[in-house]
Amino acid sequence: MANETIPTKLNEKIQFFEQRLPVWSVSPPSLGLLPADIVSLNNAVTAARAAFNAAQAARNLAKAATEQQDIAVAAMLEIGRAQVRVIRAWAFKTNNPAVYAMAQIPAPAEPSPLGPAEQPTDLTTTLTTGGTIELAWQGSREGGTSFKIFRSLKSPNSESGPFVLLGTSEERRFTDSALPTGLQNATYYIIAVRSGGASLPSDVSTVFFGSAEGNPIASKKNLTIAA
C-alpha cells in the first residue's frame, strides 16, 4: 500500500528521508529496523541528493546556454537581414534578377492580379437649386479604379430610354449638368473599372421631377439591376 506520508514533489521526497535519517539512526531496532537498513537508506538518500543536484545544475547550464543561444541568433538575424535588404535593393537598383540567384535568396513574387473592380454601393442623387444632379457613391479606388456613370431618361407618356454612358469619374462623385428639359425622371447606375475588369453595376437611383419642366424632386428610389 502506498505510504501517503511521503511527499509527491521530487526534492521534498529526498528531504523527507534526509530529515528522518538522523532520528532513525539513533535506535533502529526500536523502529523495527536493522542497522544495515539505515546504512542502505543513507546510501540511497546520498545518491538521490547527488543525482538531483547534478540534474539541477545541468538544467541551469542548459537555461544559460539557451539564453546565450537566443542572444547570438538575434544578433545574427539583425546583421543578416540587413544584408538581405541590401542585396534586394542592389538587384532592384541594377535591374538584375540574376543577383537573387547569385545570393541564393528568392526573388520577389510577382504581384497577384487585382481582378475585377469592387461593386460600387450607396449611390445617392441630389437635385441642386441650379438644376444639376449631384451623384455620390461608395467604392474602392484600389488599383487605379475609375467609375463609369450610366443614365437613362424618361419623358412623360414615353418609355424609359436605354442606359447610355454619361461620363467617367476618378472620384466617387459626379455632376450631371446636361439634363434635357421636360423630363419625368432620370435613372443612374455606376460601374467601377480597372485593369482586372469591370465590377457589377451598382444599384440604380432614380430622380423623379415634380413637373415636366424639372422642378424639385418629388421622390427618389433605389433599385437593383442585373449585371
Rounded alpha-carbon distances, angstroms, from residue 114 to 141, 168, 173, 188, 199: 12, 21, 23, 26, 12
How far from chain centre, in Å, is Cα 174?
34
Residues 64-88: tens digit of each pLDDT: 999 999 999 999 999 999 999 999 9
> Mean pLDDT over all residues of the chain?
89
What CA–CA distance (Å, rounded) separates 163 from 127? 19
Residues 149-166: tens digit of each pLDDT: 999 999 988 899 999 999
The pTM score is 0.51
pLDDT of residue 131: 85
Rounded alpha-carbon distances, angstroms, from residue 15 to 19, 26, 172, 227: 6, 18, 79, 82
> Residue 5: which pLDDT band, with cuts at 50, 70 and 90?
confident
First-to-last CA distance in the chain?
Answer: 81
- pLDDT surpasses 60 at 212: no
pLDDT of residue 211: 54
> Residue 224: which pLDDT band, with cuts at 50, 70 and 90?
very low
Domain 121-223, CATH class in plain words: mainly beta
Please state the rounded mean pLDDT for residues 19-30.
93
pLDDT of residue 129: 87
pLDDT of residue 215: 45
Residue 145, judged by CB atoms within 10 A of its CB (0-12, 13-18, 19+), counts as buried
Please state the rounded mean pLDDT for residues 32-36.
94
Inter-residue contact 192 to 147 (CB < 8 Å):
yes
What CA–CA distance (Å, rounded) separates 142 from 152? 28
Q: Which residue has the cell 502506498?
A: 2
Please state the rounded mean pLDDT for residues 89-112.
91
